[in-house]
Structure 1
Amino acid sequence: MIKITRFFYIHWLVLPLLALSYLVGGLYSTFMAYAIVTIHELFHLFAALLLKERIGALVLLPFGMTLRLAARIIRSPGKEIMIAAAGPLANLLMLMLCPLLAGLYGDSLALWQFRLINLFMLFLNCLPCLPLDGGRMVKAFLTILCGYTTAISIMRKLSRLFLVLLFMVAILLLIITKINLSLVIVCSFLALSLIREKQENEYIIMQELLYNKTKLKSRGLMRSRTISALASLPARSLLKRLSYDCYYVIHILNSSQQYLRTVSEAQLVDALLQKGWHISLDDI
């Protein structure tokens, strides 16, 4: 990475890409694509600032730009949905400007490229595939419904499915056009990002175990949910139900479904960390 300012970095591969674009006469199209991507990311940036999320950095990559927040995880699914939706909204607004621009300046090749790039970005970022905006929105919705760990598990499978479909479309386009490698390159980038996302999410899940012990204390007040579970159930199986946006209270029942006791999610996490991953709820 080449550091430009404290908050702005450029990947070193951007420079040879610009040089190649210049040699093949595509520098204008490349700059237009980067301009559209920049507006897309600025909408993410403004949404994050409005929602009082700290900004880590803006990174210019060979095939786009990405906004990195200071925190590894946004602990409000609602905020995550709004920040993720801001990018596709930018592309939609730019597409809505196209008829006005055509009326003012006429329908030109530049406007056609502008429209095509925005359509492609809007389509791509609405796919339910991590780390795209659509994937982040679906992950946040699933977090509300079934907890962070389960949401991540579902999104990994869904992302792999859509990535395979995208690769198939990319290969088909390559066969038809003979020279169009752009979608193949985008798919390769997404595959690498998905691998990195998997490694990062495993680290985040471990962080969440520790965070679950203190989240109520740090906030003072949280909405709660209850879970009823049999005492014989492995304690670790309840982790997939936990989420950072609410506090769980667990009612433990015996095999006859009679009430035994109630434990908090903090007690559950403490027991797992102290006694090991193979304990049952009866051991808490």
Structure 2
Amino acid sequence: MRLGKLRNTEIECSPFVLLPILYALLAGRPGTMLLNLLALFLHELCHVFVARAMGYRIKRIELQPFGFVARIEKRIGNRWDELAVASAGPLFSLVSAAACGALWASESLHLPGRTLIAQFGRINALLGIINLVPALPLDGGRMAESLLRMVLPPRQASQLLLFLGSITGAAAIVCGIFVPTEVDTQTMMFIMGAFLLLAVWRESRQTKEARIDGVLRRFETIRAGDCLRVRFIALHQSVRGEDALRFTDPRNIIYILVVNDAMEEIGRLSESCLLDGIARLGMGATLRAILLLH
């Protein structure tokens, strides 16, 4: 759902946010709902500030049950930049939780609303800890992905962390149903687990579109005067365009050497030729069929 636009950034809201909001209203706890939204807003604001400080423009912000998700206009090519942007939110949440805990425990300060301060601290602690779980699409998953790409191909790193995201979501649902604790905690665990599974499903479905978008962004990088490394890979002529896209790399321009059964090169495909062939013949087109177009 589109909520509006702030400067050049679109503000959207996932319809699944209505679930915890509806639960908070029915439970007669609108104050808790507002504290959660404030914690989520400040958490994501740190992501935005760090991203902008590094020169990245925020294209869209989407409110989701586990936080606001910022969509950056161009892919972060430097893994250390990606790590810094992803860690900013959880770090702020944990620091805020520690500060609230210190204020609540201080007997020399007679602050009004100490109960609200303690509650806000607990919310931030939970938000920070959840987002440190190394599972996509959580912040911890983004952080782990940026590090795993140092030792694993990008596709394998993403698949591993999406699998961990599924396990985490399923575990949260099981805890929400079977672990004896407060009813509020059980309900929120169940909602968070269900949404995490849905987010993993959406993330996996968006992978193909993200790869195509990554190729187009690399074109923009070259046009802007920056440079990228070139990497050659060899694929059999029967490989589908959909599968060939999986070998694209955000840090390199890929050229595909198309080979036959005798491992002889029958042609080469650039990323632009691959995209053109997919657009004209579909994702299931073989590299040989795409090669014949060019």
Deviates more, 1:149-158 or 1:265-274: 265-274
Quick check: 1:155 aligned with 2:155? no
Q: Match for 1:128: what amino acid? A: P
Residues 252, 64 of structure 1: CA spacing in aligned structure 2 closer, same or farther, 3 A cutoff? closer
Q: In the alignment, what sits opposite 1:88?
A: 90
Backbone CA RMSD of aligned residues: 4.2
Question: Residues 46 and 88 of structure 2 are in contact (CA less than 8 Å); yes or no, is this contact kept in structure 1?
Answer: yes
Match of 2:32 in 1: 29
Q: How much has 1:253 moved relative to structure 2?
A: 9.9
For the 8 Å contact 1:47–1:83, the answer to whether it is kept is yes
| TM-score using structure 1 length | 0.74
**SS state at 1:52 partner:** coil
Deviations 1:138-165, CA, capped at 9 Å, x for gaps = 2233445444433333333232222222
Distance 1:65 1:230 in 2: 40
The answer as to whether partners of 2:66 and 2:192 remain within 8 angstroms in 1 is no
Q: What is the CA-CA distance between 1:87 and the residue it aligns to?
A: 0.5
- Relative to 1, partners in 2 of residues 1:5 and 1:272: Cα closer, same or farther, differing over 3 Å? closer
Instruction: Flag the 1:166–1:246 CA change in 2: closer, same or farther, 3 A.
Output: same
Alignment match, 2:131: 125
Letter in 2 for 1:40: H
SS at match of 2:59: strand
**Shift of the alpha carbon at 1:167?**
2.3
In 2: Cα distance, 1:69 partner to 1:270 partner:
23
| SS across alignment from 2:189 | helix
Distance change (3 Å), C-alpha of 1:154 and 1:216: farther
State the Cα distance separating 1:255 from its structure 2 match: 10
Counterparts of 1:11 and 1:264 in 2: how far apart (Å)? 39
In structure 2, the partner of 1:105 is 109
Distance 1:204 1:241 in 2: 13
CA distance in 2, matches of 1:219, 1:59: 31
Which amino acid counterpart does residue 132 of structure 1 have in structure 2?
L
Which of 207, 213, 237 is the aligned partner of 1:207? Answer: 213
Which secondary structure does the structure 2 equivalent of 1:66 belong to? strand
8 Å CA contact 2:100–2:121 kept in 1: the answer is yes
Give unpaired runs (5+ residues) of structure 1.
Answer: none
SS in 2 for 1:67: strand
* CA shift digits 1:12-49 (9 cap, x unpaired): 77679657645644222222222211110110110121
- Identity in percent: 21
How many residues were matched structurally?
279
**1:171 correspondence with 2:161:** no
Gap change, CA 1:73 and 1:211, over 3 Å in 2: closer
Alignment-derived partner of residue 40 in structure 1 = 43
Give the stretch that moved more between structures: 8-17 or 133-142: 8-17
Deviation, structure 1 residue 182: 0.6
Given that 2:63 and 2:69 are in contact with CA atoms closer than 8 Å, whether structure 1 keeps it comes out as no
Partner in structure 2 of residue 53 of structure 1: 56
- How many angstroms apart in 1 are the aligned matches of 2:245 and 2:79? 18
Query: How high is the TM-score relative to the length of structure 2?
Result: 0.72
1:89 is paired with a residue of what secondary structure?
helix
Q: In 1, Cα distance between the equivalents of 2:17 and 2:245? A: 42
Q: For the Cα contact (< 8 Å) 2:260–2:266, is it kept in 1?
A: no
| Separation (CA, whole Å) in 2 of partners of 1:211 and 1:5 | 23
Which of 193, 197, 200 in structure 1 is aligned with 2:203?
197
Q: 1:92/1:55 Cα in 2 relative to 1: closer, same or farther (>3 Å)? A: same
| Amino acid in the other structure paired with 2:190 | V
* Matched position secondary structure for 2:69: strand
Task: For 1:207 and 1:2, locate their aligned partners in 2 and report how far apart those are by CA, in whole Å.
Answer: 22
Relative to structure 2, which stretch is displaced further, 113-122 or 102-111?
Answer: 102-111
